[in-house]
Amino acid sequence: MAVTIKEIAERAGVSPSTVSRALAGNPRISAETRARIQRIIDELGYHPNMNARSLVVKSSGTIGVVLPRSGDSAFLNPFFPEVLRGITAALEEHGYALLLATGRDDAVKHEHVARMVQGKQVDGVILLESRADDHLIFYLREQRVPMVMIGRPLLEGIAYVDNDNVLAGKEATEYLLERGHRHIAFLGGSLAYAVTVDRRDGYMLAMDKAGIAPAMRTVLSTDFSEEDAYREVTDVLHRPDRPTAFVVADDLMALGVIGAVQSAGLTIPEDVSIVSFNNVLLSRLTNPPLTSVDIHILDLGRKAVEMLFALIEKSSSRVDHYTDTYIVHTQLIERGSVSLGPFASGNV
């Protein structure tokens, strides 16, 4: 005879509704209660009828995650598998599954997300990019889908988790200024992305505060890829007044800068110093290892899940937009890609 939720509730000393909510991944159920219920489920060999459960609790037990367009080079960035690792770990704690959506371009991606939403395959959505020209946000708003963005949205009224990228860009630049560099270049991704704009603005704030003349500033932007970063900085490195240091908005792009520096017959950090962002695995494997700003990618993914469950709980209140915000701290990790610049004490 099939095991019932009522039997599980009696063994666990809770109500049947508590068992149902635990199975649905309700964040209000404590981890201790959820673990006790799960032990009993395992002991009794209970297998929930997923279709019936979905009708009763109005939950799919699945969260959608929207990746960048698969045709973009950014899709290959180590940031994305790392943030997915954080998201997946948090979802597993709630007994939820993950459904990915992407596409070779915006139209195909929109089609995949619409199918996900219209088919009620997901209870909410996490967006993994903040791009100025992404109309998918308007669609999700119209459909009243609970959503959280990883990255600062360029529209108001969207819940998001992010770093303070202005502050992080400022601190990375100040790190180089304190070590005697004055001609510092900034290399970011496309200005359509909030992360590029914010880290660039932080760089400019630090240069302004230090009184660095415009002639000593170089601001570059390209796609978030090793190849494009290589091409973008090659000409700059052959100038007589080339920068002595770079603030690079992404570790993958920094790999391209390293290649360009070496191709120009220069060395790191003796001729060119580099500070980059994200602190992914490759930052520790480069030669020399990169000084990089740790943005705590796993925490970004975990917090996005936590925020999304909170929004799902609120969704019955029929509030159109939510403005929840959570900022994950950053930490500059010093390695071997920075040396003292020409204006360091004793070099002047």
pLDDT digits (tens, 9 = 90+) for 60-76: 889 999 998 876 665 68
Which residue carries 């290399």 as its tokens? 187
Encode pLDDT of 160-187 as tens digits. 999 999 999 999 999 999 999 999 999 9
pLDDT for 56 equals 45
Q: Report the DSSP beta bridge partners of residue 99.
A: 64
Nearest Cα neighbor of 232 from 255, 251, 260, 258 is 260
**pLDDT bucket at 318, cuts 50 / 70 / 90:** very low
The tens digit of pLDDT for each residue in 262-289 reads 999 999 999 999 999 999 999 999 999 9
Enter the CATH code of domain 5-57: 1.10.260.40
Give the type of residue at 209: K
Distance of CA 267 to the CA centre of its chain: 31
Contacts 24+ apart (CB under 8 A), 229-234: 229/187, 229/253, 229/254, 229/255, 229/256, 229/257, 229/260, 230/256, 230/257, 230/259, 230/260, 230/263, 231/256, 232/187, 232/256, 233/185, 233/187, 233/257, 233/260, 233/261, 234/260, 234/263, 234/264
Name every residue whose Cβ is closer than 8 Å to that of residue 65 and which is 6 or more positions away in sequence: 84, 87, 98, 99, 100, 101, 125, 126, 128
Taking the C-alpha atoms of residue 316 and residue 258, their distance in angstroms, rounded to an integer, is: 51
Residue 58 pLDDT:
64
**DSSP character at residue 322:** -
Q: Between vectors from CA 92 to CA 279 and to CA 138, what angle results, nearest 5°?
A: 75
Whole-number Cα distances in Å, 47 to 27, 87, 228, 231? 21, 25, 51, 56
pTM equals 0.82
Which sign, positive or negative, has the C-alpha torsion 263, 267, 272, 278?
positive
Would you identify the CATH topology of the domain 165-294? Answer: Rossmann fold (3.40.50)
What pairing do the DSSP bridges indicate for beta strands 184-188 and 245-248? parallel
**Ranges for all domains in the chain classified under CATH 1.10.260.40:** 5-57
Q: How confident is residue 30, by pLDDT bands cut at 50, 70 and 90? A: confident
If you average pLDDT over residues 225-242, what whole number do you get?
95
H or E stretch covering 217: strand 217-221
d(CA 124, CA 58): 12
**Is the per-residue pLDDT at 348 higher than 70?**
no
Amino acid at 127: L
DSSP H stretches of helix in the chain? 5-12, 16-23, 31-44, 50-57, 79-93, 106-118, 136-142, 165-178, 194-209, 226-237, 251-263, 282-285, 297-314
Average pLDDT across the chain, whole number: 89
* Mean pLDDT across 232-245: 96
**CATH 3.40.50.2300, the chain: domain bounds:** 62-162+297-329, 165-294
pLDDT score of 306 more than 90: yes
The CATH number assigned to the domain with range 62-162+297-329 reads: 3.40.50.2300
